[in-house]
């Protein structure tokens, strides 16, 4: 084996070695930040992988981390850390505006953050199935400062049952009239293929009867599978001149009257569906009280959703004549009054 000749190798002295280390450090101090900056610029300009427009809501009080994480989960940004860093580094995190945004597919960090700085005039509001006009008015008043509760209720007094429960996006300055027109237009749009002449003829019901019955079933029964059966029971009673005996109609009749009236202080928490009805309530002279009056109420008692309207049109005939829904939302059926009374003792 050939021996290595030390003379052939150049050994750096200590001074030269430190010189090279210093040069390397200096070069790194310039090159690495440049490389990082180049990556950063590319990253904030890189389009997201999202292939569709998304609706994104920022609520008052939402933090930057919460917003960034939510955007990442929806696929609108490629990195939640990068988005958060961009906002903070550019001191934009303190000016993120609450609102509902339509974020186009393929948007980048700069574009999205710019949207959040400019803000939006659209506000999201959701109206639930089975709510009555007053509950619609209350929710609208919470979401829109210019919506007046009393005016909304007054304008909608003849529209009960025909305000479609759904999620909507309205301008912050929407008026009571415009909002109500949108709700009614949506009802027509969503039900036009359901409330057909053929379907009504098959069910032997008018459109008005269908909506009234749907508004009752919506409040009486929570489970979708039970609704066609309950609809069948109520329709049988109606067709045979028997009282409907639906507690929800009594709740509608007494709420807002006497001891069940909301005040300015408790309006936001007021329960429009009084759970504990008294004997006096059951004897109410209201035309809506189907515990006392034969036939249907004069108008719907709530605003039903699409599925319950279908349940009424496609009601099921059965051997059951009675039903009750317990506090857990479970419906119990009975063929005889004796069986029904047993269910009352067991479940109520």
Between CA 166 and CA 305 the distance in angstroms is 8
Task: Read off the tokens for 5.
Answer: 């000749």
The mean-pLDDT minimum among 9-13, 102-106, 115-119, 175-179 falls in 9-13
Every domain range in the chain assigned CATH 3.30.1490.480? 54-120
Tell me the CA distances in angstroms from 177 to 121, 164, 197, 312, one per residue in order. Answer: 18, 15, 30, 30
346 half-sphere exposure, CB direction, 13 A CA radius: 14
- Per-residue pLDDT tens over the stretch 14-35: 666 666 666 666 656 665 565 5
Using an 8 Å Cβ cutoff, are 41 and 63 in contact?
no
**Residue 51's pLDDT band (cuts 50, 70, 90):** confident
Percent of the chain past pLDDT 90, that is, above it, reads 58
Between CA 295 and CA 200 the distance in angstroms is 19
The DSSP annotation for 137-148 comes to: HHHHHHH-TT--
- Per-residue pLDDT tens over the stretch 255-295: 877 667 777 778 888 888 977 888 888 999 999 999 999 99
Using an 8 Å Cβ cutoff, are 165 and 131 in contact?
yes
Using an 8 Å Cβ cutoff, are 339 and 235 in contact?
no
Using an 8 Å Cβ cutoff, are 320 and 335 in contact?
yes
- Per-residue pLDDT tens over the stretch 217-233: 999 999 999 999 999 99
For the chain, report the end-to-end CA distance as a whole number of angstroms: 101
Overall average pLDDT of the 157-170 stretch:
96
How high is the pLDDT of residue 348? 84
Q: Please tell me which residue, 143 or 312, carries the higher pLDDT value.
A: 312
Using an 8 Å Cβ cutoff, are 137 and 152 in contact?
yes
Between CA 319 and CA 233 the distance in angstroms is 9
Using an 8 Å Cβ cutoff, are 75 and 49 in contact?
yes
Percent of the chain past pLDDT 70, that is, above it, reads 87
Q: What is the second-level CATH architecture of the domain 123-190? A: 2-Layer Sandwich (3.30)
Task: Read off the tokens for 264.
Answer: 């300015």
Q: What is the mean pLDDT of the chain?
A: 88
Overall average pLDDT of the 290-307 stretch:
97
Beta-carbon count within 10 A of 272 CB: 17
Task: Provide the angle, in degrees to the nearest 10, between the axes of the packed helices 176-191 and 133-143.
Answer: 120
How high is the pLDDT of residue 15? 65
Using an 8 Å Cβ cutoff, are 187 and 163 in contact?
yes
263 half-sphere exposure, CB direction, 13 A CA radius: 3
Tell me the CA distances in angstroms from 341 to 324, 332, 333, one per residue in order. Answer: 10, 11, 11
Pairing label, strands 331-334, 322-325: antiparallel
Superfamily of domain 54-120: Endolytic murein transglycosylase (3.30.1490.480)
- Tokens 């996006």 belong to 169
Overall average pLDDT of the 36-61 stretch:
78
Task: Read off the tokens for 335.
Answer: 């063929």
């Amino acid at each position: 084996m050939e021996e290595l000749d030390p003379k052939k190798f150049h050994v750096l002295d200590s001074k030269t070695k430190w010189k090279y280390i210093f040069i390397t450090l200096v070069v790194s101090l310039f090159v690495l930040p440049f490389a990082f900056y180049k990556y950063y610029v590319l990253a904030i300009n890189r389009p997201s992988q999202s292939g569709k427009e998304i609706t994104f809501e920022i609520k008052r009080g939402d933090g930057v981390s919460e917003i960034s994480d939510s955007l990442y989960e929806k696929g609108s940004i490629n990195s939640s850390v990068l988005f958060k860093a961009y906002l903070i580094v550019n001191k934009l995190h303190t000016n993120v505006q609450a609102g509902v945004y339509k974020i186009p597919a393929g948007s980048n960090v700069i574009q999205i953050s710019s949207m959040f700085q400019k803000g939006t005039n659209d506000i999201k509001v959701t109206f639930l199935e089975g709510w009555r006009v007053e509950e619609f008015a209350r929710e609208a008043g919470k979401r829109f400062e210019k919506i007046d509760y009393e005016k909304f209720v007054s304008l909608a007094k003849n529209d009960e049952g025909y305000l479609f429960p759904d999620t909507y996006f309205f301008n912050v300055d929407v008026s009571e009239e415009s909002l109500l027109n949108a709700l009614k237009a949506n009802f027509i749009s969503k039900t036009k293929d359901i409330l057909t002449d053929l379907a009504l003829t098959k069910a032997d019901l008018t459109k008005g009867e269908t909506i009234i019955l749907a508004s009752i079933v919506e409040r009486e029964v929570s489970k979708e599978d039970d609704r066609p059966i309950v609809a069948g029971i109520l329709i049988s009673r109606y067709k045979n001149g028997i009282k409907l005996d639906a507690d929800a109609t009594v709740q509608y009749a007494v709420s807002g009257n006497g001891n069940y009236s909301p005040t300015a202080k408790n309006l936001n928490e007021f329960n429009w569906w009084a759970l504990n009805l008294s004997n006096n309530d059951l004897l109410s002279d209201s035309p809506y009280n189907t515990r006392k009056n034969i036939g249907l109420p004069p108008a719907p008692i709530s605003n039903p959703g699409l599925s319950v309207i279908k349940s009424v049109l496609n009601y099921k005939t059965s051997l059951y004549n009675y039903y009750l829904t317990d506090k857990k939302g479970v419906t119990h059926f009975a063929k005889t009054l004796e069986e029904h009374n047993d269910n009352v003792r067991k479940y109520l």
